[in-house]
Amino acid sequence: MPSLKDLKNRINSVKSTRKITKAMQMVAAAKLKRAQEAAAASRPYAQRMASVVANLAGSMGEGSTGPKLLSGTGSDQTHLVIVLTSERGLAGGFNTYVVKEARRLIAALTGEGKTVKIFTVGKKGREQLKREYSELFVGHLDLSNVKGNDYSDAGIGLGKEITGRFDDGEFDVATLVYSQFKNVLSQVPVSQQLIPAQAPEDAETIDLKGATYIYEPSQEEILETLLPRYINTQIISAMLESGAGEQAARMTAMDNATRNAGEMIDDLSMEYNRARQAQITKELIEIISGAEAL
Amino acid sequence: MAAKLHFSLVSPAKELFSGEVDHVIAPGTEGEFGVLANHAPFMTTLKNGIVRVLENDQTKMRLFVRGGFADVTPAGLTILAEEAVDLASVDSAQVNAELEEVRNKLSAEGKDGPHEATLKAQIDYLSDLRAALAH
């Protein structure tokens, strides 16, 4: 039976925990709003870019293969898995779900006898995957110095690194595993193939009404400048979605924590009041029986 | 009244313009080109310069773009700019101050600093923007 003082201390400590989780929840809610706005602002560009790529790729003749970024190396032996997670924890199962999806993908690929290389973005994924797959790691990108929701530098940097490695022949296929932001309550981990570039299936293709495209300078040159940018855009929008998802997951997790702390405080207060009442009753009995004895 | 052209200009940061216009003049890498309604399908890369939006032969809007792509389809003209800004919303004094700041940053970092390429690209962009403003 804990003493009254112990109970009082516990109640106070749970109360301060609740204050912290409440504050974290509110910070996450404010950040979520900004992250969602940033993600929404970047969406028109990403969509248009996708439909332009779909158009171009669709109009490539059967005979011409186009740049390697589009057609691939002709093999799919070596896979690069890029795992995009957050820098900070306390976001519920957010990172765990992404890592789980990455594990599933890695296991499936190794099961098929492919060579897998892992590139992590964000500290949490690296921590969770390092134990099992440390020998497969080829690189890591730190996002801790990204300010606000400006992922453009980090995204372009990562895009350059990935396409550079591809040009060096380090891998044949690159897949990005990240958390897709569906809504505040659900973030779905997905695997998206980056290289060879794929035009999204749902991109609107435009009916040219029988006319043929005119390209300046030429279709190949346009594709060559467009594809790396397309990959960068995909990376940046994945980063934005993941950022928004992280804040949403943290907000939900902290909301739950705040509620749990509240319940715990109620339980502890009940126990405290009972213990106090029991003590008073005990003291009264002692006094009365002392008076009767006289 | 001639048919209208659907024109939209997007940069990674936001959608700057979307709507029906008469005529758009854009800076292609191989020369400036104008697009009217029902233009043939056409795709080109862009260089730094001014995109002009014309309505009734009057310049309605001038936008400065840094690199990107223009895509003309029967549905309209789409410009995907790396970076774009409405010239009506920029102030030349501010551009000059920014240019000065970036130059200082570059000289402070010295040669072969980690951000040299980005800073130089920024200087190019800002000086082109200043030239466009003086225009």
Query: For chain B, what are the domain ranges?
Result: 5-88, 90-134
Q: Would you say the CATH fold of A32-249 matches that of A4-23+253-293?
A: no
What is the nearest CA distance from B34 to chain A, expressed in angstroms? 14
What's the confidence (pLDDT) of residue A206? Answer: 61
Distance from CA of A129 to the nearest CA of B (A): 30
Of these ranges, A157-171, A256-270, B55-69, the one predicted with the greatest mean pLDDT is A256-270
More confident call, A261 vs A144:
A261
Query: Using 50, 70 and 90 to split pLDDT, how confident is the model at B107?
Result: confident
pTM, to two decimals: 0.82
Instruction: Please give the pLDDT value at position A280.
Output: 95
- Report the pLDDT averaged over residues A52-61: 74
- State the ipTM, two decimals: 0.74
Res A157: pLDDT: 87
Tokens representing residue A19 in the block:
């204050």
Comparison of pLDDT for B133 and A184, the residue scoring more: A184
The larger pLDDT score, comparing residue A115 to residue B89, is at A115
- Closest by CA to B45, choosing from A163, A50, A157, A229, is A229
Query: Of B70 and B128, which is predicted with more confidence?
Result: B70
Q: What does the pLDDT average to over A163-186?
A: 90
Name which residue leads in pLDDT, A205 or A220: A220
The arithmetic mean of pLDDT across residues B93-110, rounded, is 80
Question: Are A152 and B28 a contacting pair at CB < 8 A?
Answer: no
Span of A11-15, A16-20, A61-65, A178-182 with lowest mean pLDDT: A61-65
CATH 2.60.15.10 fits B5-88, yes or no: yes
How high is the mean pLDDT of chain B? 83
Question: For B114, phi and psi rounded to 5 degrees?
Answer: -65, -25
> Per-residue pLDDT for B1 more than 60?
no
Confidence of residue A118 (pLDDT cuts 50, 70, 90): very high
**CA A116 from centroid of its chain's CA atoms:** 21
Q: What is the pLDDT of residue A103?
A: 93
If pLDDT is split at 50, 70 and 90, which confidence band does B114 have? low
Q: Is the pLDDT of residue A104 over 60?
A: yes
- Measured N-to-C along each axis, helices A4-59 and A219-293 cross at an angle, to the nearest 10 degrees, of 170
Using the beta-carbon criterion (under 8 Å), do B80 and A55 form an inter-chain contact? no
Residue A60 backbone zone (phi > 0: left; psi -120 to 50: alpha; other: beta): beta
CB pair distance less than 8 Å for A221 and B45: yes
Confidence band for A294, pLDDT divided at 50, 70 and 90: confident
Q: Residue B118: pLDDT band by 50, 70, 90 thresholds?
A: confident
**Residue contact B41–A212, C-beta within 8 A:** yes
* pLDDT, average across residues A65-75: 76
| A61: pLDDT strictly greater than 60 | no
Q: Does domain A32-249 have CATH number 3.40.50.620?
A: no
Domain A4-23+253-293 grouped into CATH 1.10.287.80: yes
Average pLDDT of span A112-124:
91
Q: Chain B contacts of A229, Cβ < 8 Å?
A: 82
Chain B contact set for A217 (CB, 8 A): 29-30, 44-45
d(CA A20, CA B35): 58
pLDDT of residue B68: 87
pLDDT at B103: 82
Q: Which DSSP state fits B88?
A: G
Is the pLDDT confidence value at A203 over 70?
A: no
Contacts of B38 in chain A (CB under 8 A): none
Lowest mean pLDDT among A133-142, A177-186, B101-110: B101-110
Average pLDDT for B56-61: 84
**Per-chain mean pLDDT for chain A:** 87
- Residues of A whose CB is below 8 A from B73: 55, 206, 208
Domains of chain A by residue range:
4-23+253-293, 32-249
| Per-residue model confidence (pLDDT) at position A81 | 92
User: What's the confidence (pLDDT) of residue A88?
Assistant: 87
Name the more confident of A147 and A272. A272
Separation of CA A36 from chain center:
14
Rounded to 10 degrees, what is the CA torsion of B90, B92, B94, B100? 130
State the pLDDT at residue B112. 66
Q: Which residue has the higher pLDDT, B124 or A258?
A: A258
What are the b/e assignments for A38-57, b being 16+ CB within 10 Å? Answer: bbebbbbbbbbbbbbbbbbb
pLDDT tens digits along B19-42: 899 999 999 888 899 999 888 888
Q: Angle at which helices A152-167 and A219-293 pack, to 10 degrees?
A: 120
Report the chain A residue with the minimal C-alpha distance to residue B28: A216
Helix axes A94-111, A219-293, angle to 10 degrees: 130
